[in-house]
Amino acid sequence: MIERCYEWLEALLSRHGEITHVRLCTERSWEETDEQLEMILYFSAGEEVHPIAAIHLFPLDELTCEVEVEITFDQMNGGQRDARMLWQQAQEIVQEVSLTERKRFLSPERLAEHELVLDYHFMLSMPQSEEEDERLLQTLQCFAEDVGRLVQL
């Protein structure tokens, strides 16, 4: 399922920007024999353009994949964005999006990192009929358009 999702997303996202790189990760627990797989697609509106969307694909089984998107806005180098305004703009595109503000300090007065992160997730199931295939394609087309708009906020 993860390979098919990647193929679909690669084709659809290319209409709205570019996938800058892809990372495939595996994780194995000491206690469990299962291996967890994750693919991360990094997407931007164009070369050297920020913010970057990290699109995580987590296969849950052979027929189901979870998709999680995180769009990170650098508040240190990219200029200060109003968090409330950004969240309102994002909710006009994806209603169920959430916003997290992250700050990392090296000392009480020395800010090392400041980011705003928009994120949301949904599940995809492998289509079992032509009708489901068409619905999945529509879902992915909307997703690609939404991510393309979110990275341009």
Provide the whole-model pTM.
0.91
Position 114 scores a pLDDT of 95
Position 78 scores a pLDDT of 66
Position 28 scores a pLDDT of 81
Domain ranges of the chain: 2-150
Q: CA–CA distance from 83 to each of 96, 122, 129, 151 (Å)? A: 16, 23, 42, 15
Residues of the chain whose pLDDT is less than 70?
49, 78
Query: b/e for 22-49, b at 16 or more Cβ within 10 A?
Result: eeeeeeeeeeeeeeeebbbbebbbeeee
Position 118 scores a pLDDT of 98
Position 1 scores a pLDDT of 83
Q: Tell me the C-alpha distance between 17 and 7, whole Å.
A: 15
